[in-house]
Amino acid sequence: MINLTQKPEEKQTLSKVIKLFIFLPLISLCIFLGVWQIERGQEKQDTYNLYLKNISKEPKELHNLHENISEFTKIKVFGDFMLEKQFLLDNQVYNQKAGYDVITPLEVDDKILLVNRGWVSNNNRQSIPDISIVKTKNPIIGYVYYYKNSYMLSNDIYENKWPLLIQSININKKSSLLNKEILPYVLIMNESQDNAYNLKKIYKKNPQLKHYMYAGQWFIFSILGFIFMIILMRR
């Protein structure tokens, strides 16, 4: 006759194995997330250092539109703004206030360079802010920025109604809308120019600190989990 009952030692061993299978993956996950946050923080710091390095230089005049330009490079370019076709990038915050970034197409040698002219308030959602342009022969000066894809609550609806309210910078869709080739980056216009508005800071000082703080939290969770596992294993 087979004895189906387990000895106390066997039950205790099985209990320890179950606890290990529960805690070890959780502890490993916390360590992984902590390391990942450190790497993210280092990436942010490297990007911020590149930003500071490039914007401290004198702007280079853009002659070859097919030139591969690195992010944050300061450039100056001559062209004509498309007064009748502008975009309002929605859900932009400046000084804790909601508003739009004004994105204006600039015609340069039969191509389009999108220019971010800065932030304007949207206090009244029922009316469009005044984003008129003063004609000038001065060059447009700013730095190159490549917008990343981000999660959107809704897709852009392209209507023949200008200025057009948009949720993201999608170069391909804007190109078909304007029937011209659009350069793959956006020029963030200097604030101290005609036709420029409030300029938001793309990167703040010490952007890595937030990620290091999150990393510390995950490492603390892993230590607490390890201590808790040891206590339970001894019972």
Q: 12, 166, 176, 44: which is closest to 100 by C-alpha?
A: 166
Taking the complete model, does pTM exceed 0.85, yes or no? no
How far apart CA 232 and CA 27 sit, in angstroms, is 15
Higher-confidence residue of 222 and 62: namely 222
* Helices assigned H by DSSP within the chain: 8-55, 171-178, 208-233
**151-198: per-residue pLDDT in tens?**
454 555 666 678 888 888 887 777 777 878 888 899 999 888 888 888
**61-77: per-residue pLDDT in tens?**
887 777 788 889 999 99
Distance from the first to the final alpha carbon of the chain: 32
Q: Which of 10-19, 169-178, 214-223 has the highest mean pLDDT?
A: 214-223
